[in-house]
Amino acid sequence: MSFPSHIARLLEQFGLAPDTKAALLDIYLQLGSRSLEVFSDLCESFPAPSMVRPEDLAGMRARTVEHYLREAHGQWMEGHPTSSFFAPRSAQGRANGLSAPLGSLGEASDSGFAGLVRRQTAAIVGPGQPVPRGLLLMSRNGHYGGRDETVSFDLVCEDLDDAIAVGKAAGRQHTAPGSIGETSGTHDGIAKLALLWEIQPNAWKPQGERNRSIAKIWRRNRNWHVATMVAAIHWLQKAGSDIYVLRGCALQATHEVNPREPVTEALVAVHDRTVSAVVGGLGGILRAPTPEEEVAVGAASLMNTGLTKLVSERGAAAAMWRVGLPAAEE
């Protein structure tokens, strides 16, 4: 993969060192053309672009997060879609995915998609537990890593300054900037099949000095995992898709985690507990896929290499559940 020819020529004129150019290309493939705008701003702080080194690019993500949110956040709040933050790898930096607002959980009205998600979330978390008050955001082909056919459901802070703070906080930061956490998966709209394989915070839970600046934001929205999974299931059900969800025991294989940072038993338990609570709270059931369903999931390319290997060795029932749901509430 390489820069488009007109960009490559311009960078050549800048005299960038080969290793700096390689580091910038990796950022460009992840974030798309807006990263070049941020790089241009960065170059202004150097006597010449040729003096920029790979380590100088370390702050580009934070700069791009703020640049992106100042452009996109207001449009989301007005109900307008934007391009996603991350770009699909197949587009090679030339295009980003789509991020579309699904409504605010903080609105007084109980109507519409967000109102339904709010009611369902409140029923699942129970009395005394806060219902998140952020903006629901759905992104297609906007997940970190650039895999195609991804769909992500985020809980984004409604206040721009809060969103920027969360977007710059320590954490995985795998989907939309400004999002406390997300539920993500792959969705084949033609085959009408979906596999949810991630329920993950973008910003880590504040602990000690880590993320202390967003502690109040986190506490207000600590049930993000319930709200985003409810949104994901409800949206996919409305789309007419059969829904599958990863078992916690398959997280390690699916996400190919560094062996030095294994998925803990506690994380597996939290994942399975969230899935069980949300599906049960929606009146649904979790069951093993049938042999016919296993073939359909494999044919739809919903699984990555690690999960495909696990399923081939142990069968789909060892790695995922099929979600059975009552008729969608209108």
Helices 291-299 and 305-314 pack at an angle, to 10 degrees, of 160
Query: What pLDDT score was predicted for residue 109?
Result: 65
Q: In Å, how far from its chain's centre is CA 231?
A: 13
* pLDDT digit string, tens, across residues 263-304: 889 999 999 999 999 999 999 999 999 999 999 999 998 999
- The average pLDDT across 60-86 equals 95
Average pLDDT value for the chain: 93
What single-letter amino acid sits at 165?
A: A
* pLDDT digit string, tens, across residues 110-125: 779 999 999 999 999 9
Q: How far apart are the first and last CA of the chain?
A: 46
Query: What pLDDT score was predicted for residue 329?
Result: 65
Q: Output the pTM of the full model.
A: 0.92
Per the listing, tokens 């934070």 go with 62
Question: In this structure, how many other beta carbons lie within 10 angstroms of the beta carbon of residue 165?
Answer: 17
Q: Is 250 helix (H, G, I), strand (E, B) or coil?
A: helix
* pLDDT digit string, tens, across residues 2-47: 888 888 888 888 889 899 999 999 999 989 888 998 999 999 989 9
* pLDDT digit string, tens, across residues 194-226: 999 999 999 999 999 999 999 999 999 999 999
* pLDDT digit string, tens, across residues 136-171: 999 999 999 888 899 999 999 999 999 999 999 999
Please name which of 101, 98, 100, 104 lies closest in space to residue 143, comparing C-alpha atoms: 98
328 touches 286 (CB < 8 A): no
How far, in Å, CA of 205 to CA of 270, rounded? Answer: 14
